[in-house]
Amino acid sequence: MRITVPTARVLAALLADPDADHYGLELMQAAGLASGTLYPILRRLTEAGWLTASWEDVDPAEAGRPARRYYRLTAEGATEARRALAELRAQTTPGSPLGRPATGGGAW
């Protein structure tokens, strides 16, 4: 999977609590991304099997609000996300043998 800067931010936000359910607004704030950037990334990660999506188990009438959609890292997703972020870190560390300048519209 192509890991862009915004994707890396989303993965980092998810890995901050890998076993928890996360919802869109929370991830927008944690990753510092706009909604129009975040949701297409979440869809891409879900299609790749890195995330599972589920609806909040809540009665809208009782809670006084609609149910949210939650995202959670899969086991494979957590492993791949850690690996991807580690590679990024290695590539961007000065003096690293893998280090090279980032190119192409923010894609690493």
Binding site for other proteins (CB under 8 A): 23-25, 28, 34-37, 39-40, 43-44, 53, 55, 60-61, 63-69
Q: Which is nearer to other proteins, 44 or 72 (CB)?
A: 44
The answer to whether 15 and 78 are in contact (CB under 8 A) is yes
Q: Which is nearer to other proteins, 25 or 90 (CB)?
A: 25
**Cβ-based neighbours of 13, under 8 Å, separated by 6 or more:** 22, 27, 30, 31
| Shortest distance in whole angstroms from residue 101 CB to other proteins | 25
| Shortest distance in whole angstroms from residue 106 CB to other proteins | 14
| Shortest distance in whole angstroms from residue 86 CB to other proteins | 26
Torsion of CA 11, 81, 84, 88, to 10 degrees: 40
Q: Which is nearer to other proteins, 52 or 92 (CB)?
A: 52
Please return the burial class of 12, using the count of CB atoms within 10 Å of its CB with bins 0-12, 13-18 and 19+.
Answer: middle
| Shortest distance in whole angstroms from residue 77 CB to other proteins | 18
CA distance 46 to 24: 13
DSSP-assigned beta bridge partners for residue 51: 73
Q: Which is nearer to other proteins, 27 or 88 (CB)?
A: 27
